[in-house]
Structure 1
Amino acid sequence: MPIVRDKSRGTYVFEFDRIVNGGRIRIRKRLPKAWTSAQADEFERKESARIYAAANGVGSEDRLITDAIALYVAERAPLLKQGKNAAREIHQIHWAFNGKPISALAEVCRAVVQKSGKSRYGKEMAPATIRARIRYLVAACRYAWKYHGFGTADPGARVITPQVRNERRVYIDRREMLKIARKIRNRKVRRVIRIAFYSGMRLGEILSARVEGGRWHLDDTKNGEPRIVPIHPRVWTAAHNTSRKPAKITVQSYFREAARALGHNDLHFHDLRHSAASEMINNDIDLYTVGAVLGHKDQRSSARYAHLAVKRLDLAIKKIGQKTPTTERKKAA
């Protein structure tokens, strides 16, 4: 049977291992977890037909990118945490791929890089935004290629994704944080600012966190995994305040105005998270623990703070050439 059930992962797997025109063709594809048996069987029929057609020299139709996106938005995006955002971002570059075949994906992505203009705020489009849109577009085309037979080769193989270095290195200390908070009259916003500095949580996490057993419990985080964050004594009362939390845009607006009034024109609310990491590192907390507090799934995200660990670097350098107990024992022997 070309379709088998992988019970350990709860998914169907398409397997094709046959001799066609004197040559063996082996293909194995894991199907989306949400697919039913009927969907898997339908995919098997279409994919087997496509493989036989390709092996017999029958060219497959060069489908449109628009059709690939329609399938991705209908089938795959609803299963993703950022699915709605992916659909919105892809729509923003409709001008680049409208009417274009999937084989022209690389050229479409180059056009997105070269011709993306200004955002709705009048600023130049951020490189990270352009990269995200290209990645969503490539993901949609690859989904259609892998599960619906759009083309015979990986449409994203020739796509060059622009490199982006957008790590922010803006930090403030406790005194500066309090100055900003005192500039704000809204008590709810002040509480959120202090919690952000003393927890390292993202704004969305603060607004959705629930308090239980002296800790914040986050059921839905950016990386998709739950997280528990201890409550700092200085924000214990703020954490247990049961009044309604302010809207996200309200917090950002108040914070931006207060920061600019104090001369911090380039300070964002999210920089409070970086400042929390800076405070921990400057107090000799190792990067692994800092990453655990912040909820970094990949330790490379924590590595951006390595330059702050000056004390640990000093200690590491001083260890070079030092005699160890093992060395002394060897000499005694």
Structure 2
Amino acid sequence: MGLYRRKDSSIWWMSFVVNGKQYQKPTGTSDKKLAENILAKVTTRIVEDKWFEKDLSKEITLKEMIERYDREYTEMKDYYQKARDKTIFKHLYAFFGENVTLEEVNARVGSYQKWREKQVSKKGKSPDSGTIRKELSLLRRMFNVARKQWKWRIMNPVSDIELPKDSKERVRYLDMDEFKRLFVKLDAAEEPWLKPIVIVAIGTGLRQGNLINLLKTEVRLKDKMIVIDSEKMKNDDYFGNPLANVAFETLKDFIENDVTDCPYVFNDNGTKLYDRKVQRAFVRVIRTAEIQDFRFHDLRHCFGSYLRQNGVDLATIAALMNHKDQRMTQRYAHLNVESLRRPIRKLDSALLRFYDVKSQK
């Protein structure tokens, strides 16, 4: 038994053995005297045979879990992701209540989907299955963070339920005419950073948040690559992709001509861009180009769609888009019709030969 400090932590940890099993637990304090008192209490409980790992789900409330996740994770997200999380928190509170324990959440989570399907917004609409899936996915993520990062001894009840399928698999991309109209307006845009960020979005498939937070050090001009650490990516996977020439030349030009000391690739005279500023500028250009139903995120769909239309296989597209689940990539499957025509022509030839044989009999 004893106390120690980890290199990456300022708090004291305690090590002890119960029934032949060794445990390392945080004391939760950087005060050594207090840590010694905590270890002494644990030692007493072990001697009295009263120590056991306690299931915290009966004590911790949903509000405690959400508030901690909000502080440590949601507040670090971009404007739109943050707004989405906070809206989901409100729906979770509306169904479960703020002060329910996690044990009660476990008992009731299976009814959440049916309850949400009956809710009607101010616009008179009910949430679709994709929206409900996102809400339950965030709840599942919070439980996983609590278990794996905070070391709470709880179960994850969302892991045991089947999430609703996403009914809206949107694939909106620019056709040739829209593409030309957009870039005519981008050339005339007052923001010098807008056209480059759109070019790189289409050329890499990166999300808006990743582009805004893209560091100059993450662009390896020598290797013609972008390399981003996993913690900055939506699905927690490392991103390391080669650059198409158009995206590479755009990044190279933008970085080499930036005379500021701003660490971010896309900046406004040395000031970091923020989500709403990019969105407002992009929406203005889309409107002046008279393009309907097109969002910044659809630039990512342009990337996937153009790859597929040019014969790239789905597995490669999944890798380039950093999709953990290749079902996400299936939305682009229908876009390469020409590659399917060749085997159909072969079938035609085979059938014609078959019919010729039949007719000769």
TM-score range for the pair, normalised by the shorter chain length: 0.5 to 0.7
Contact 2:226 2:242 in 1 (8 A): yes
Amino acid at match of 2:86: R
Instruction: Tell me the residue number matched to 1:230.
Output: 242
Instruction: Tell me the residue number matched to 1:112.
Output: 116
Query: Aligned equivalents of 1:108 and 1:304: distance in 2?
Result: 28
Alignment of 1:62-73 (within 5 A): 63=58, 67-71=61-65
State the secondary structure of the residue aligned to 1:289: helix
Amino acid at match of 1:70: E
Is 1:295 aligned to 2:297, yes or no?
Answer: no
Query: Aligned equivalents of 1:216 and 1:138: distance in 2?
Result: 30
Instruction: Tell me the residue number matched to 2:219.
Output: 211
Q: 2:202 aligns with which of 197, 220, 223?
A: 197
C-alpha distance 233-75 of structure 1, shift in aligned 2 (>3 A): closer
State the secondary structure of the residue aligned to 2:169: coil
Query: Aligned equivalents of 1:140 and 1:217: distance in 2?
Result: 27
Shift of 1:124: 6.2
Amino acid at match of 2:210: E
Instruction: Tell me the residue number matched to 1:304.
Output: 331
Contact 1:72 1:143 in 2 (8 A): no
Alignment of 1:113-132 (within 5 A): 113-115=117-119, 117-118=121-122, 125=127, 127-132=129-134
Alignment of 1:28-107 (within 5 A): 37-38=24-25, 45-47=51-53, 63=58, 67-71=61-65, 74=68, 78=72, 88-93=86-91, 94-98=93-97, 99-100=99-100, 101-102=104-105, 103-107=107-111
Amino acid at match of 1:91: F
C-alpha distance 95-257 of structure 1, shift in aligned 2 (>3 A): same
Shift of 1:111: 2.7
TM-score by length of structure 1 reads 0.64
Query: Aligned equivalents of 2:162 and 2:317: distance in 1?
Result: 33
C-alpha distance 287-113 of structure 1, shift in aligned 2 (>3 A): same
Shift of 1:197: 1.8
Contact 2:227 2:241 in 1 (8 A): yes
For residues 23-71 of structure 1, what are the alpha-carbon distances to aligned partners after superposition, in whole Å with 9 as ceiling and x for unaligned?
Answer: xxxxxxxxxxxxx7126998x9445x77xxxxxxxxxx9948x714524
C-alpha distance 182-125 of structure 1, shift in aligned 2 (>3 A): farther
Identity over aligned pairs, percent: 22
Aligned-residue Cα RMSD (Å) equals 4.3
State the secondary structure of the residue aligned to 1:38: strand
Query: Aligned equivalents of 2:219 and 2:344: distance in 1?
Result: 42
State the secondary structure of the residue aligned to 1:169: coil
Instruction: Tell me the residue number matched to 2:293.
Output: 266
C-alpha distance 286-104 of structure 1, shift in aligned 2 (>3 A): closer
Query: Aligned equivalents of 2:144 and 2:322: distance in 1?
Result: 30
C-alpha distance 45-69 of structure 1, shift in aligned 2 (>3 A): farther
Tell me the matched-pair count.
272
Gaps of 5+ in 2: 1-22, 28-38, 43-49, 259-265, 268-272, 351-361
C-alpha distance 216-39 of structure 1, shift in aligned 2 (>3 A): closer
Contact 1:282 1:308 in 2 (8 A): yes
TM-score by length of structure 2 reads 0.60
Shift of 1:228: 2.3
Shift of 1:196: 1.6
Query: Aligned equivalents of 1:142 and 1:194: distance in 2?
Result: 36
State the secondary structure of the residue aligned to 2:174: coil
State the secondary structure of the residue aligned to 2:327: helix
Amino acid at match of 1:195: V
Shift of 1:310: 1.1
C-alpha distance 206-88 of structure 1, shift in aligned 2 (>3 A): same
